[in-house]
């Protein structure tokens, strides 16, 4: 698994605008697949530039979720259209945070209930931004990236643990669908949770507060396919830690 090289934020609007792609990403190692998609889809590059300028921590997270999605796509041998959609969505899924005030976005302590509602709106805001740009599939993925967890929670707790979570065949099959956009949305949710709970650059995770909640956050993802992805992510994380010793 590749190691990420982080870099301190660079300030100054004028300077930022003159930055080339290389300068934008600094010393960070970028997977060729990420470079390719940024060339093919300049809208993603522009949104990432804007995010880096607005909130480096979110930019860092988007890049890492993007890199992990490349690695997962390879392991699962996704088709090129699936890999592109997963990667493109991974790189912009939190873009709605551009519209969340820095006061809330960069807050170090716990959110109030009101602030949490504002924060949670970033998925809808991001989806709207992407729809306005004509990026309908990425909008759908963005809209769902937190819904996955919430809907699972509802299925488990709101319906007394019955059938929705069980894999079923035929007419009464559960909502779980290992194909198409649904599968990719689930993948993105798992990678997103995994990366964000492990990312120590986050102001609310400096001492591993989010990491302590990772298994709780992931407990609703329990199909074979999801467990395989979680296993891969854990393996890579462990290997990365071992490399550093």
* 29, 59, 21, 190: CA torsion to nearest 10: 50
Distance CA 7, CA 24 (A): 10
Q: Considering the rule CB under 5 A, would residue 33 count as an interface residue with Fe ion?
A: no
CB of 94 to Fe ion, least distance (A): 4
CB of 105 to Fe ion, least distance (A): 11
- B/e letters for 74-83, b = 16+ CB within 10 Å, e = fewer, are eebebeeebb
CB of 177 to Fe ion, least distance (A): 22
Q: Considering the rule CB under 5 A, would residue 55 count as an interface residue with Fe ion?
A: no
Q: Considering the rule CB under 5 A, would residue 60 count as an interface residue with Fe ion?
A: no
Q: Considering the rule CB under 5 A, would residue 217 count as an interface residue with Fe ion?
A: no
Cβ-based nearer residue to Fe ion, 19 or 147: 147
Residues 229, 190 contacting (CB under 8 angstroms): yes
Residues 182-201, mask of contacts with Fe ion (x by CB under 5 A): ----------x---------
- Show contacts with Fe ion in window 85-114 (CB under 5 A): 94
Query: What value, to the nearest 5°, has the Cα angle with vertex 69 and ends 116 and 121?
Result: 20
By the criterion CB under 5 A, which residues form the site for Fe ion? 94, 192
């Amino acid at each position: 698994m590749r190691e990420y090289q982080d870099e301190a934020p660079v300030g100054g609007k004028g300077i930022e605008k003159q930055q080339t792609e290389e300068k934008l990403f600094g010393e960070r190692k970028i997977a060729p697949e990420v470079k390719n998609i940024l060339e093919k889809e300049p809208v993603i590059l522009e949104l990432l530039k804007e995010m880096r300028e607005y909130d480096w921590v979110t930019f860092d997270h988007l890049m890492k979720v993007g890199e992990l999605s490349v690695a997962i796509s390879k392991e699962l041998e996704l088709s090129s259209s699936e890999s592109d959609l997963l990667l493109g969505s991974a790189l912009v899924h939190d873009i709605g945070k551009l519209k969340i005030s820095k006061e809330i976005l960069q807050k170090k302590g716990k959110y109030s209930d009101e602030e949490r509602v504002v924060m949670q709106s970033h998925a809808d805001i991001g989806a709207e931004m992407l729809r306005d740009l004509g990026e309908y599939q990425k909008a759908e993925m963005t809209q769902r990236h937190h819904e996955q967890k919430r809907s699972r929670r509802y299925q488990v707790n709101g319906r007394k643990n019955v059938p929705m979570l069980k894999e079923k065949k035929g007419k009464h099959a559960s909502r779980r669908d290992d194909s198409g956009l649904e599968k990719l949305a689930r993948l993105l949710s798992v990678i997103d949770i995994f990366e964000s709970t492990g990312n120590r650059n986050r102001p609310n995770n400096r001492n591993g507060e989010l990491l302590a909640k990772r298994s709780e956050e992931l407990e609703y993802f329990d199909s074979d396919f999801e467990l395989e992805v979680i296993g891969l992510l854990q393996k890579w994380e462990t290997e990365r830690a071992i490399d550093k010793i």
